[in-house]
Chain A
Amino acid sequence: MTLSFILSLLNMTVENSVPYLLITVGGVFVARAGVFNISMEGCTELAAFAGILFAFRTGNIWVGVIDAILFAVAINCIFYIFTVKLNGNLSVVGTGINLFAVCVPASLLQIMYGSRSNLIATKIIDPLKMMIDIPILRKIPLLNEVFNKQTFITYLTILIVWGLIIVMYKTKFGIAVRVTGENPNAAKSVGINTDRIKFYCLMISALTCALAGINLSVEQLGMYTIGMSANRGFICLSAINCGRKEPGKACIYALIFGFVRALQTIINNFVPVAISSLLGILPYASIIIVLLIVEMPVAKRNHLRFFKGAN
């Protein structure tokens, strides 16, 4: 276990944690407002697709970025209308949106390019160019290996996480979000429009999911593969639950899952090709193990025999 191995592992952790952190920190707002949103998966997937598609067709990365954000916002608007305004069942609407967001890219790809496979845009986007070299960091020995040459959104993520934590705990909006989730009647009685709060939270989540999707497809690879978000939406839901809906704690779990993902990538280099496909279960298995570790002590101390209410 040499130093360079550890450093490259940390570097990959930083790189891989970005989508998890983004989806999680946006999702915390939605969860805190009392909405169980499983459509973050579809949102991220569609944003990843839109980013590459429009960048490819117009030759301009920024068009791709803007369109990814627009699509994510549109998906969350649909979610909002169907669940908050029209009172649809959260799990059903979420699953419906996830299915929708998976089959639309597939069918469009088949129509436009004849096959249901990847969309490679590396002519327009060079993943290596996405890495930013920061002069100050270059001079600091350990930090350079870990934090330098990351992508723009990676650095943005640090700001976003820090900023959103402040919003949650130090602003009027943050308090309104927490009250909406804990006691909607209390919120309404002081004049807080709970529907509007939920909408704003969904928009925050749309933005972070869009950035996560763009990071996955545009920044890291320069291409889109079907199913590339790889259940990150669900994984982040676990992170939010384990972190008891607190942004700080949830982000720590997101980092753990990013670390597992990095581990998977690195181990891939050392194992025979056959096993590498098996490594794919690492993130999923790690969630179940994390859940076990977190919930077992809680369950042991619980002396109530009955199940309490809903989700």
Chain B
Amino acid sequence: MKKHGKTPVVPKSIELIELHRKKCNAVWDTIIPLFFAFIVGSIFSLICKCSPIKLYSFILKKAFMSYGGILNTLGYATPIIMTGIATAFSIKAGIWNMGIEGQVFAGAFVSALAGYMIKGLPSFLHVTICLLIGAVVGALYALIPGILKAKLRINEVVTTVMLNSIATTVTGFLTQSYFGTGDAYAHTEFILETARLAKISSRYRSTTALFIAVVIWAILFFVLKKTKFGYEVSCIGKQLEFSDAVGMHVAKKIIIIFIIGGAIAGIAGTTEILGANYNFVNTFSANPGIGWDGFFACILAGSNPIGIMIYSIVFGALRYGALAAQTGLGVPLDLINVIKSALVLFMAIKLVSTHGDSIKEFFRKLVTKKGDKEEKEAKA
């Protein structure tokens, strides 16, 4: 028998309440590090004799407040979207592939060569071949730490960092000695017109690479969430021994995951060459490097693909804004990296979800102590 007027209140199940709490905590986890990071950034900004408010508003204006600015931001964000999702794929499997930067260099260098050495092809074919070459080279370079980990159980953190240095040194050397043009700064020949990616709007940085990035991002997102491979990746990331015990052939999967990461890193480097630089310079992957920016975006987003998209755009804005701020305000580029590292550090500790309760306790005790003190004073 229904009551008139009011509908009965249905109590939420415990599960829904837990989920709600987790989501709230996740939001706080994102906001609080931003807060602390910007404080740290402000301190350094003052050391650099620039008002933090002026700096932040300048960056915001440049990056987001104009059509050109947004295109530039997206242009800088493009490679980070790719390296970010590539890192996320590895980290979900518990593999700390810190070598994305090296794989970017490997892919970028060889594709830069292919960009001017392969002649007489229509544009569509030339671009596709360059991208493929970049992907293959990146994948092959990633195979080294992959096999070392899969067959010899060698920890990948150290091997990938070493390989990064090897990649940057070797490509720099080759550019200087064999493939250079003899100019003051070492760079390879400019790639042919047919290899260049079309810009979205001629004066700004975004190219069709943006669409490539988004497509790759979407594919990996789908694979992680919906496919069998994605299921296995999350199992491997959570419990290694279990994954092998249920027959997932973890060693093989590790090699595949490295290959995928390397291929995407190679494509990211290639798009920078084909779309922005048009040749290979050993400083093309600006400070600290598109691989590292992707790594940090991934960490800050907790390997969540949607978060990675957001952070990639934020980092793109920061990179563009920092460049502009250097010329416009005289602020050193590395200042932005200070903010990034502070962000990463504060994000790493997940302040709210892990320690939220103890922090609340701490403040409650502080408040009650104050209250007790006031009571005592009132009585006296």
**Do the two chains bind?**
yes
Q: Please give the residue numbers on chain A whose beta carbons come within 8 Å of chain B beta carbons, in ascending order.
A: 38, 78, 82, 86-89, 91-93, 95-97, 99-100, 102-104, 106-108, 110-111, 116, 231, 234-235, 237-238, 241, 274, 277-278, 280-281, 284-285, 287-288, 291-292, 295-296, 298-299, 302, 305-311
Contact B348 A88 (CB under 8 A): yes
Nearest B residue (CB) for A296: B152
Contact B159 A111 (CB under 8 A): no
Contact code string B333-367 (vs A, CB < 8 Å = 1, else 0):
11101101110110111110011000000000000
Give Cα distance in the complex from A78 to B40, angstroms: 14
Known contacts A96-B345, A281-B169: A305-B332 contact under CB 8 Å = no
**Smallest beta-carbon distance A195→chain B, Å:** 15
A contact residues around B354 at 8 Å (CB): 86-87
**Smallest beta-carbon distance B208→chain A, Å:** 31
B31 at the A interface (CB under 8 A): no
Q: Please give the residue numbers on chain B whose beta carbons come within 8 Å of chain A beta carbons, in ascending order.
A: 44, 47-49, 94, 96, 98, 144, 148, 151-155, 157-159, 161-163, 165-166, 169-170, 172-173, 176-177, 240-241, 243-245, 250-251, 287-288, 292, 295-296, 299, 332-335, 337-338, 340-342, 344-345, 347-351, 354-355
Contact A308 B240 (CB under 8 A): yes
Contact A102 B342 (CB under 8 A): no
Contact A234 B161 (CB under 8 A): yes
B contact residues around A89 at 8 Å (CB): 348
Contact A291 B348 (CB under 8 A): no
Cross-chain contact of B157 among A38, A106, A111, A116 (Cβ < 8 A): A38
Contact A100 B251 (CB under 8 A): no
Known contacts A86-B355, A99-B340: A93-B348 contact under CB 8 Å = yes
Q: How many A-B contacts are there with CB distance less than 8 Å?
A: 163
B contact residues around A88 at 8 Å (CB): 345, 348-350
Give Cα distance in the complex from A216 to B41, angstroms: 29
Nearest A residue (CB) for B245: A306
Cross-chain contact of B345 among A93, A116, A291 (Cβ < 8 A): A93
Contact A307 B345 (CB under 8 A): no
A contact residues around B177 at 8 Å (CB): 274
Contact A99 B348 (CB under 8 A): no
Give Cα distance in the complex from A104 to B96, angstroms: 25
Give Cα distance in the complex from A238 to B158, angstroms: 7
Known contacts A234-B158, A308-B241, A309-B240: A82-B345 contact under CB 8 Å = yes
Question: Binding site of A, secondary structure by majority: helix, strand, loop or mixed?
Answer: helix
Give Cα distance in the complex from A238 to B155, angstroms: 9
Contact B152 A299 (CB under 8 A): yes
Question: Binding site of B, secondary structure by majority: helix, strand, loop or mixed?
Answer: helix
Contact A287 B288 (CB under 8 A): no
Nearest A residue (CB) for B160: A234
**Smallest beta-carbon distance A59→chain B, Å:** 22
Contact A278 B173 (CB under 8 A): yes
Contact B176 A274 (CB under 8 A): yes
A contact residues around B153 at 8 Å (CB): 295, 298-299, 302, 307
Contact B338 A107 (CB under 8 A): yes
Known contacts A295-B153, A306-B241: A284-B166 contact under CB 8 Å = yes
Contact A295 B154 (CB under 8 A): yes
Q: Which 8 A-B pairs have the closest CB atoms?
A: A306-B244, A103-B337, A107-B334, A103-B334, A96-B344, A100-B341, A88-B348, A110-B332
Contact B345 A281 (CB under 8 A): no
Known contacts A104-B338, A288-B159, A299-B153: A280-B169 contact under CB 8 Å = yes
Contact A103 B158 (CB under 8 A): no
Cross-chain contact of B334 among A106, A274, A310 (Cβ < 8 A): A106
Contact A307 B332 (CB under 8 A): no
Nearest B residue (CB) for A99: B341
Give Cα distance in the complex from A92 to B292, angstroms: 12
Nearest B residue (CB) for A109: B332
B contact residues around A235 at 8 Å (CB): 162
Question: Can you list 9 residue pairs at the A/B interface with Cβ under 8 Å?
Answer: A82-B348, A96-B344, A103-B341, A110-B334, A234-B158, A277-B176, A284-B166, A296-B152, A306-B244
B contact residues around A291 at 8 Å (CB): 148, 152, 154, 158-159
Known contacts A231-B165, A277-B169, A306-B240: A107-B152 contact under CB 8 Å = no
A contact residues around B49 at 8 Å (CB): 111
**Smallest beta-carbon distance A91→chain B, Å:** 6
Give Cα distance in the complex from A278 to B241, angstroms: 41
Contact B348 A234 (CB under 8 A): no
Cross-chain contact of B338 among A38, A103, A277 (Cβ < 8 A): A103
A contact residues around B170 at 8 Å (CB): 278, 281
Cross-chain contact of B161 among A93, A96, A231, A298 (Cβ < 8 A): A231
Cross-chain contact of A95 among B169, B333, B344 (Cβ < 8 A): B344
Give Cα distance in the complex from A122 to B53, angstroms: 39
Nearest A residue (CB) for B295: A95
Contact B240 A307 (CB under 8 A): yes
A contact residues around B98 at 8 Å (CB): 95
Q: A231-B161, A288-B144, A307-B251 are in contact. List 7 more A-B contacts (CB 8 A).
A: A95-B344, A107-B338, A111-B47, A116-B334, A285-B162, A288-B163, A307-B241
Contact B355 A107 (CB under 8 A): no
Give Cα distance in the complex from A208 to B255, angstroms: 37
Contact B158 A107 (CB under 8 A): no
Contact A106 B344 (CB under 8 A): no
Nearest B residue (CB) for A280: B169
Nearest A residue (CB) for B177: A274
Cross-chain contact of A287 among B162, B176, B341 (Cβ < 8 A): B162
Known contacts A91-B96, A306-B250, A309-B240: A99-B337 contact under CB 8 Å = yes
